[in-house]
């Protein structure tokens, strides 16, 4: 009988004996009352974990560490190059801040089960606010500070918050963004009117007006009694995190308290190989799921030191920003998006700025949020000299679904693959009929039910939308919305959202695969490949590329080389004949490239510029390029 590897043994146990596996992991957190059932179904027939158990997420993040003797250890480092500020908070200091804010929330009438919207920049008060809500059993909904008033209004109407916590401003590199007027406009637009808006004053740089519903953050805390933690059920919601929905109405992803705590604590040891006292840095924003899971909650559950960074990978002050933080704070494991790495690579292709820093503390670099192309992965491996781990997950899952488990068994890296399923996730590749695909056969990525702890149990106040959107396509499975395939060694390759698969003359082709080839070109800093309408073939691929700095080659020469490379590696069937060289790509503030928006521009379809776009003027630039290059609907014969 063949001996299973450590990963294979652990994974098999999690699938074959799911309840026993997670019951064992649940012993690693403190319960006030032990769960009555490990896995059950609610009245709507939806799976729930740890029914009957009671706990408190804020207690697990703070009090439990103090009781374990870590009170004077640094819990959170606030590093803000945009304000030249650095602050450290011990677990004792952080608890004091959270207790006072929790008491302040109670003082203005927020109670267990109420929702609270948090609309804050990357400042410590964002983490304090999340933990204060958790402490009193209120359900927080963090809204990314890049959202405009209309998007915030939609979330106010859905969440119906008892209070909103905001600040007078945020900072984008060197530009002040006034938050308070955005909140005021959102409330004016929304049908639901929150009773209280708590305003944190960062300083006099941006003036603001207070109304009758507004409460000063510091004044509230000065008159509040510190609040202790309350018991909540494992199945009670901890937070709502909204994602964009296809209907225009945001989807409220619900995260419960029990499964979330068990899964995230397990992930810190087994995936990221981090233990109490280690410094962990997720370079994201608390407005996104990465910020929830791996800036605030998971590192604190584990007794780590976490970093809250208010800055960018470049221009704060330059492309050495990440290396400086790693060196200065002795970061053991870092996690960021491939886009951030490509931005650094574009500014400093040889990573010369890195050489001025001692990076010896760094043991692993994780990337996620979008596909990591082979060129970026290999550049990082070469420059850092540590394992570079591409892993894949979603807002809906809340923690990794595919990963290389550094705390269990480090597997060989395959560029383009996020490695193998994380224990608890029975991931399959299905065809249109819902049957398993063969080896290397591309299909739909789905997870056999039940999903493991930590994943969404449903959508906020909308069970039917959850069922229709995620569970109906393949009965018995959760449909991820992504496509991909599995190779002969069980490695999964995610090729992107299924709407990124284009049909060229009857052939299903992955734009992500083409993007991988384009990104590997020596002169390309970053790129996007989209499918645009073609009268003859249905769709055809278009590559939009950004050149590296100081490349002497002409645009025409680069375009010809890319077209040849796609033909050589994929074949004439790919039919890539159009390459547009742009100065930059349209992106959200979190760094995601707006491929869908560019596709709609090329096809002359109506589109809405996302409120989170980094710079709206780039849309005009792309539209102009499509016109002068006769792309899609702008082709001479199409007009």
Q: Are 483 and 442 in contact (CB under 8 A)?
A: yes
Q: Are 301 and 261 in contact (CB under 8 A)?
A: yes
Mean pLDDT in consecutive groups of 10 residues from the start of the chain, 639 residues: 91 98 98 98 97 98 98 98 98 98 98 98 98 98 86 94 98 93 96 98 94 97 97 98 71 97 98 98 94 98 98 95 98 94 92 97 93 89 97 96 98 95 98 96 96 98 96 97 95 83 66 87 94 80 94 94 86 81 90 88 88 86 93 67
What is the SS3 assignment for 32? coil
DSSP string, 203-268: -TTS-----TTEEEHHHHHHTPPP-----EETTSEEEEEEE--TTSSPEEEEEEHHHHHHHHHHHH
Please state, in angstroms and as integers, the Cα–Cα distance from residue 200 to each residue in 210, 377, 534, following that order: 11, 40, 52
State residue 179's pLDDT score. Answer: 96
For residue 376, whether the previous peptide bond is cis, meaning omega lies within 30 degrees of 0, is: no
> Domains in the chain, start-ordered, CATH in brackets?
6-311+391-485 (3.40.50.12780), 505-638 (3.30.300.30)
Distance between CA atoms of 576 and 9, rounded to whole angstroms?
44
State residue 639's pLDDT score. Answer: 36
Q: Which residue matches tokens 């039919």?
A: 575
Per DSSP, what are the bridge partners of residue 529? 543
Distance between CA atoms of 418 and 402, rounded to whole angstroms?
6
Distance between CA atoms of 575 and 183, rounded to whole angstroms?
48
State residue 248's pLDDT score. Answer: 56
> What are the residue ranges of helices labelled H in 27-90?
57-58, 64-67
Of 239, 285, 227, the closest CA to residue 116 belongs to 239
Per DSSP, what are the bridge partners of residue 40? 48
State residue 65's pLDDT score. Answer: 98
Q: Are 389 and 367 in contact (CB under 8 A)?
A: yes
State residue 637's pLDDT score. Answer: 45
- CA atoms within 13 A of residue 415's CA, in its CB half-sphere: 15
């Amino acid at each position: 009988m063949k001996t299973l590897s450590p990963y294979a043994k652990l994974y098999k146990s999690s699938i074959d004996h799911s309840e026993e596996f997670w019951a064992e992991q649940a012993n690693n957190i403190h319960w006030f009352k032990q769960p009555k059932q490990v896995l059950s179904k609610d009245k709507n027939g939806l799976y729930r974990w740890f029914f009957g158990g009671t706990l408190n997420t804020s207690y697990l993040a703070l009090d439990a560490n103090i009781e374990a003797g870590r009170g004077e250890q640094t819990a959170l480092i606030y590093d803000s190059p945009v304000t030249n500020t650095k602050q450290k908070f011990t677990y004792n200091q952080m608890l004091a801040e959270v207790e006072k804010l929790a008491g302040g929330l109670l003082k203005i009438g927020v109670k267990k089960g109420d929702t609270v919207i948090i609309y804050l920049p990357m400042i410590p008060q964002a983490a304090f606010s999340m933990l204060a809500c958790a402490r009193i059993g209120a359900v927080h909904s963090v809204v990314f500070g890049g959202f405009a008033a209309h998007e915030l209004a939609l979330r106010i109407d859905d969440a119906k918050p008892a209070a909103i916590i905001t600040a007078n401003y945020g900072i984008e590199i060197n530009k002040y963004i006034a938050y308070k007027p955005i909140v005021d406009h959102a409330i004016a637009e929304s049908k639901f009117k929150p009773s209280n808006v708590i305003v944190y004053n960062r300083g006099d740089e941006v003036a603001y007006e207070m109304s009758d519903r507004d409460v000063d953050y510091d004044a509230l805390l000065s008159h509040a009694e510190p609040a202790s933690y309350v018991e909540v059920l494992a199945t009670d919601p901890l937070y709502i995190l909204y994602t964009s929905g296809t209907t225009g109405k945001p989807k409220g992803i619900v995260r419960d308290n029990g499964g979330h705590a068990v899964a995230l604590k397990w992930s810190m040891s087994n995936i990221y190989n981090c233990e109490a006292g280690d410094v962990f840095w997720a370079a994201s924003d608390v407005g996104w799921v990465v910020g929830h899971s791996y800036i605030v909650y998971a590192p604190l559950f584990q007794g780590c030191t976490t970093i809250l960074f208010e800055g960018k990978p470049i221009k704060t002050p330059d492309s050495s920003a990440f290396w400086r933080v790693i060196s200065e704070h002795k970061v053991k494991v870092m996690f960021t998006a491939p886009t951030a790495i490509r931005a650094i690579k574009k500014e400093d292709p040889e990573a010369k700025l890195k050489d001025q820093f001692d990076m010896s503390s760094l043991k692993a670099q994780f990337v996620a949020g979008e596909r990591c192309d082979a060129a970026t992965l290999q550049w990082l491996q070469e420059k850092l000299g540590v394992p570079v781990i591409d892993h894949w997950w979603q807002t809906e899952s809340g923690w990794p679904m595919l990963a290389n488990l550094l705390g269990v068994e480090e597997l060989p890296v395959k560029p383009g693959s996020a490695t193998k399923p994380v224990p608890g996730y029975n991931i399959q590749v299905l065809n249109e009929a819902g049957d398993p695909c063969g080896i290397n056969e591309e299909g739909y990525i789905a997870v056999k039910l039940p999903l493991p702890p930590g994943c969404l149990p449903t959508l906020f106040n909308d069970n039917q939308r959850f069922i229709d959107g995620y569970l109906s396509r393949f009965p018995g499975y959760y449909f991820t919305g992504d496509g991909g395939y599995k190779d002969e060694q069980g490695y999964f390759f995610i090729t992107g959202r299924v709407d990124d698969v284009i049909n060229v003359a009857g052939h299903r082709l992955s734009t992500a695969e083409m993007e991988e080839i384009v990104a590997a070109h020596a002169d390309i800093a970053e790129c996007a490949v989209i499918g645009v309408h073609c009268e003859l073939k249905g769709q055809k691929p278009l590559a939009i590329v950004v050149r590296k700095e100081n490349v002497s080659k002409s645009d025409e020469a680069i375009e010809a080389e890319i077209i040849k490379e796609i033909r050589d590696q994929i074949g004439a069937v790919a039919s890539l004949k159009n390459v547009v060289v742009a100065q930059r790509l349209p992106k959200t503030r979190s760094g995601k490239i707006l491929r869908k928006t560019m596709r709609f521009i090329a096809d002359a379809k109506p589109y809405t510029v996302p409120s989170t776009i980094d710079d709206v003027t780039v849309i005009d630039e792309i539209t102009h390029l499509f016109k002068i290059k006769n792309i899609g609907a702008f082709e001479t014969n199409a007009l």
